[in-house]
Amino acid sequence: MARYLVTGGAGFIGSNIVDELVRRGDTVTVLDNFTTGAQANLAAVTDRITLVPGDICDLSLTQKLAKEAEYILHLAALPSVPRSIADPLATNRHNVEGSLNVLWAAKEAGVKRVVVASSSSVYGESAELPKRESQVPRPISPYAVSKHAVEEYALSFHRLYGLPVVLLRYFNVFGPRQSPQSQYAAAIAKFVHGALRGGRLPIHGDGGQSRDFTFVANVVQANLLACTAAGAAGGVFNISSGRQITLLELVAMLGEIVGRQLDVEYQPARAGDVRHSLGDISAARATLGYVPTHDIRAGLEATVDYFRGLL
């Protein structure tokens, strides 16, 4: 039984990780300010974790919690490309300054490993596919810039202080607990929400843009593997399904799952969005032992089942 601190543990991805840690019998502390997370996401495990309302921008609190942890899973962030374009200052404060606090607290506490959530957005609009970790990042949006900055800070802490960090670049994560209602909501959450309620599905652009959508269970697996995988410290790894699908193909697949043809509503393309994304997961497979358990269809079916249960 190990001791984990999960920053952002009340969020969509974080709460799914917390569920698995609790299932394994680990000791879990969650730090979350509930800006995008929700206590309801932890309702099933609240009596088996320590939930600390607070912010990673509070260095003293972060240091206190790090001293009690063996492993830190750092997921706290202000997500969303559009949000970062609207308010880059808030994105920098939470994502960069807050993450620097986490890294410093981890270094001072001497934790066994820090697993940091990064993003495929750091690659930017590169014609090279699939995206490989060896590519030079060319982030477009302030969100992507913030994630790249966190990566560089983490790697510098590894080189200078020997902090055992692992960086995971997530590709378009989706699944249960992802909110469909925010103006910054991700595509699949909005699509499933609309499909089950008879609405038109909003597509920014022509729908020909492609993504490597990654079911949240795959990301949970990757985080836990990254905590203990030999040779992973100081590494950067793509976490994706390793397959791409266009938004129009996704809509057609979702229509098959819900049993009806779905209507779309085309909207202007969004600034900061990349056209195509596909991750090479060979490094994660070789070093972490990461093998996706859910492809896009299986993940989409599970997500539909989850949202149906909320109706």
- pLDDT confidence of residue 185: 61
**pLDDT tens figures, 31-85:** 999 999 999 999 999 999 999 999 999 999 999 999 999 999 999 999 888 899 9
Confidence check: pLDDT of 207 > 60: yes
Find the mean pLDDT for residues 133-137.
95
To the question of pTM greater than 0.85 for the whole model, the response is yes
Q: Which residue has the higher pLDDT, 198 or 24?
A: 24
- Calculate what percentage of the chain has a pLDDT beyond 90: 87
Percent share of the chain, pLDDT over 70: 99
Write out the two tokens for 94.
Answer: 């939470």
CATH number at residue 14: 3.40.50.720
Higher pLDDT, 202 or 67: 67
Report pLDDT for 182.
65
The number of folded domains in the chain is 1
Domain that holds residue 138: 3-173+214-240+281-292
Q: Is residue 252 part of a domain?
A: no
Q: How far apart are the first and last CA of the chain?
A: 37
Q: Is the pLDDT of residue 184 over 70?
A: no
> Which pLDDT belongs to residue 80?
87
Helix (H, G, I), strand (E, B) or coil at 158: helix
Instruction: Report yes or no on 182 lying in a domain.
Output: no
Is residue 255 domain-resident? no
| Residue 271 included in any domain | no
Which one-letter DSSP state was computed for residue 240? S
- Whether 274 has a pLDDT exceeding 90, the answer reads no
Is 200 part of any domain? no
In a domain, 148, yes or no: yes
Phi, psi at 111, each rounded to 5°: -65, 160
